Structure 1
């Protein structure tokens, strides 16, 4: 028995998130079904990040155990020949049997993308949130700096989340403008349910001039469930990658 690690990229538009659902098509189900057919044994992958319905990924991570003789580094090619075109394995390799994609020290990086223009862009509309009101990027940058460090993010977490702690550490949070595209790129030790989409919605309120940058500081210092910006649509969110702190690639 060996354990294989996959780096998985996908367009989440046509899927009901990562995690198995009773009646819906999910990324996890598609991987399980195709690996089971490919290897001739029942396969159940374990994913690092259970992305929501409509969220995209460039570097989600999954592992599975197999008796197959296919070398780990060739698993990506073999699996990609079967997968739909909106799910692509970027790399594969054998890892130690005790490697678990969720129970490790990690740095996760997400991006939330806005398209700021008078009218939407039909070419990239599946991957951004359209905002027609002009945004103050400098104020958004100022507000984003308040996220840095270790904070209680209870206000930026769905009330449905079942966690023991709302404290997370943010290592970087940058606002990058490229023409009409404005991207929030954030790296942290981990993220609560809907946290990145609520962070982006909060920065959007600042960019629109409805709130001042210091509002973010007030939210975090309250350490209570107070009003924040809106939870933005899933389509603007992409999991860029996951770095494992104590695991050599």
Structure 2
């Protein structure tokens, strides 16, 4: 049987999603918890790996097992064996043809910037602080050239192992919400550090240090060396993937 799970996590204290031998990861914690519920080893496959410090609102994973448990048992059993910073939101059986990564039509990220003179206390783990006033409207205009399919080499980490840099951005929006400036991006897939590098190149526009046309020029130039710095991981949340409705997954990950 193949089972899909929705997983929420605070990534602050993890070295990222992917299982490692030398430190705490979200995948490692989840597999350990599920293995206890199953009383045998369980390995999961996720929709999209996240880096150290990045959070997940509804990561989707699948795993195969011949162990019979109620779906509620997988949820409650996993949660009781997970650290407080990770929770399984839901579980449901899926066809063997479903694949958390390859069946996803798109992925969504949200980057949250606290834009005020004083640093955060309560929300420090989930935002990036920017003390200088930001022009969210200028950032929104600057982000629009990123829409569509392009070579995103200018926003690709040097360590990125993807076979090529072409990705299709389906939606991008920047808006102000009180003291926060929120950047939301949806694409068919993302390169390593792509969202954080895009945000790092939108921030100088918001501060008035670069013109609105600059991110589009960076995109066309394909040179990571002249683009903005990588924005901190704390402000980034993987909102989740989207799947076609016929898979029957919860509405938050279906389209």
Q: Same fold (TM over 0.5)?
A: yes
Note the residue ranges of structure 2 that are not aligned, 5 or more in a row: 250-255
Measured in 1, the distance between the counterparts of 2:145 and 2:236 equals: 21
Q: Give the 3-state SS of the residue equivalent to 2:78 in structure 1.
A: helix
Q: Give the 3-state SS of the residue equivalent to 2:208 in structure 1.
A: coil
The equivalent residue for 2:202 is: 203
* TM-superposition CA deviations, 1:165-214 (whole Å, max 9, x none): 21111111111211111110111111000000001111101101111111
Measured in 2, the distance between the counterparts of 1:78 and 1:105 equals: 26
Using the TM superposition, give the Cα deviation of residue 224 of structure 1 relative to its aligned residue in structure 2, in angstroms: 4.2
The equivalent residue for 1:27 is: 26
Aligned length: 248
Measured in 1, the distance between the counterparts of 2:212 and 2:5 equals: 39
- Answer yes or no: is the 8 Å Cα contact 2:183–2:199 preserved in 1: yes
Q: Give the 3-state SS of the residue equivalent to 1:81 in structure 2.
A: helix
Structure 2 CA distance for partners of 1:12 and 1:105, relative to 1, 3 Å? closer
* 2:52 maps to 1:67: no
Q: Give the 3-state SS of the residue equivalent to 1:80 in structure 2.
A: helix
The equivalent residue for 1:129 is: 128
Using the TM superposition, give the Cα deviation of residue 163 of structure 1 relative to its aligned residue in structure 2, in angstroms: 1.6
Using the TM superposition, give the Cα deviation of residue 73 of structure 1 relative to its aligned residue in structure 2, in angstroms: 5.1
The equivalent residue for 2:173 is: 174
The equivalent residue for 1:158 is: 157
* Alignment map for 1:21-100 (pairs within 5 Å): 21-72=20-71, 74-100=73-99
* 2:238 maps to 1:239: yes
TM-score, structure 2 as length reference = 0.93
Measured in 1, the distance between the counterparts of 2:30 and 2:238 equals: 18
Per mean C-alpha deviation after superposition, the further-off stretch among 218-227 and 31-40 is 218-227
Q: Give the 3-state SS of the residue equivalent to 2:226 in structure 1.
A: coil
TM-score, structure 1 as length reference = 0.95
The equivalent residue for 2:253 is: none
